[in-house]
Amino acid sequence: MTTLARASDTLTRDALAVLQPTFAGTTSAPDWLLRQLENGMTGVGLFGRNVVSTAQLAGLTAQLRAVRPDVLVATDEEAGDVTRLERLGGSSFPGNLALGSVDDPELTRAVAAQVGRRLAEAGVSVNWAPSADINTDPENPVIGVRSFGQDPELVARHTVAFVTGLQSVGVAACVKHFPGHGNTNVDSHLSLPRIDIDLDTLHQRELVPFKAAIAAGSRCVMSAHILIPALDPDRPGTLSSTVLTGLLRAPVADGGLGYDGVIYSDAIEMKAIAATYGLDRGCALAVAAGADAICVGGTPSDEAEVLRLRDAIVRAVREGELPEERLHDAAERVRALARWTTEARAGAQATAGERDGDAVGLDAARRAVRLTPAAGAAPFEPLDRAPYVAAFTPAANVAAGTQTPWGVAAELDRLLPGTSAGDHTHADAERAGTEGLVAEVLAAAADRPVVAVVRDTHRHPWMAEALAALLAARPETVVVEMGVPHALPVGALYVATHGAARVCGRAAAEAITGRGAVR
């Protein structure tokens, strides 16, 4: 082989190494994927479409490791509203906002360790979690309950606890979305958010949890597709060398964060990047800016797409847009992460302790519930007969997806057999109007108690109007808020769960019926 051919082969393998595609299927990995892992690709991403059960997923990831023992297998198992392992039934663990509301870092660490154990059992080695974003904008449509809260120090201590818990069982943490996605009312899956804050505010607020996570040894950081003009007026964080190299990588002495681990991009096909730069150019620009691993995640990849993106990165090197040394550095960082995860998984298996199943998750969900009785009313009497559950359902968060069930109806039916439920949406409100929608709810409820379940009422005027009209007609209605409890408490009993995980629904049902350990 000539020197030129060897150099070309190294370049091609490096370009493959930084790509982290996804694929379709639950029973077997595609032949093309196994082939490209042999050719130098280092890792893959998994989403709900790949998961049926932990045992099934373990079999699927074993196929990948048979070809490449140190393959990086990543997913975003945040717990709470964003779950991949339990997308069909709902998470056994509450999400970040619930954990932040309890504010017990040891509990957060225990939850993260249990999540990590389940990931490790399924063969997953990198978790694109936790979200270290501070939910400073109440109108945020994509973070919300995925944030630990609004206080930078609280978010920082729970981010550290989650990172520590995950990595204690051999799963690499990936804190996101750098430099902070909480202060926006735009979803970067759909468009490019712009955050107009000054650098002092950024350092004193958004960057606090990331600095803490880096100090705690987080193996990975994920970039955000957001534009912060105070840092870079032209390019979003994922494509900005000022953000990734000049801020995240730069030494602390020079005003940076001094981070030396792997930088993942958020999914590169999100419209904040793809709609403006395209996938091919977006990949090359992200690596040039300082990203090491490019997540190609929203839709399943195929071999043609992976090879096209590989060739786009190689072409960027040959045309002088991407320094070859930068690409090689990125590839080496990803390979080093793969070695770490292999060693960490082996060490964690050798020292595995007792597993506490769902207990820690349910305990956390119960501790996160907050009950507010109606002002001036007699003490709330727990429900003792089957109610009608009116779920006012907003459009699904893109990150969470549409297949994961939520609410309290199933758990109430377990405690009060005969519970019935109805799903009421914005489309119903537009069709029937507020009065018509509420009339439909009342007709369905008849003489049964009513439990109204809402999610981020403060962000959805149709929901707030329907709830107000329902309470005017049936003031004894119990209200369960399963999103961010930003609106004022209403109803005979207001139950704030701080998330919509399955265990949050169970904790709420226990509170409503007086049959649980809610504090």
What is the CB neighbour count within 10 angstroms for residue 209? 30
What are the φ and ψ backbone dihedral angles of 74, each rounded to 5 degrees? -120, 150
In terms of phi and psi (left: phi > 0; alpha: psi -120 to 50; beta: otherwise), the region of 144 is: left
User: Quick check: 47 and 84 in contact, CB under 8 A?
Assistant: yes
Pair type for strands 493-496 and 370-373: antiparallel
The number of beta carbons lying within 10 Å of the beta carbon of residue 418 is 10
Q: Is 189 a catalytic residue?
A: yes
Q: What is the DSSP string of 16-38?
A: HHHEEE----SSS--HHHHHHHH
Q: Which amino acid is at 163?
A: V
Active site residue 266: yes
- Quick one: which H or E segment has residue 220? strand 220-223
| Separation CA 225–CA 455 (nearest Å) | 25
Label each residue of 388-452 as H, E or C.
EEEEEECCCCCCCCCCCCCCCHHHHHHHCCCCEEEEEEHHHHHHHHHHHHHHHHHHHHCCCCEEE
CA distance 77 to 4: 43
CA 386 – CA 448 distance, rounded (Å): 7
Catalytic annotation, pick one of 158, 189, 225, 498: 189
Eight-state DSSP code of residue 261? S
Catalytic-labelled residue, pool 14, 133, 266, 292? 266
Q: How far apart are CA 155 and CA 164, in angstroms?
A: 14
How open is the CA angle 156-157-159, to the nearest 5 degrees?
65
Q: Rounded to an integer, what distance in angstroms lies between the CA atom of residue 467 and that of residue 477?
A: 10
Q: Provide the CA 251 distance to its chain's centre, in angstroms.
A: 29
User: Could you tell me the two tokens for 283?
Assistant: 């990949």
- Reduce the DSSP state of residue 473 to 3 states and report it: helix
Six token digits for residue 197 = 């804050």
**Distance between CA 479 and CA 511 in Å, rounded?**
12
CB count, 10 Å around CB of 215? 12
Distance CA 319, CA 312 (A): 10
* Alpha helix (H) residue ranges in 216-323: 241-243, 271-277, 279-289, 303-318
- Separation CA 233–CA 235 (nearest Å): 6
Largest Cα span, the chain: 87
User: Rounded CA gap, 293 and 267, in Å?
Assistant: 10
Taking Cα atoms as reference points, which of 274, 223, 214, 278 lies closest to residue 245? Answer: 223
Which residues belong to the active site?
189, 266
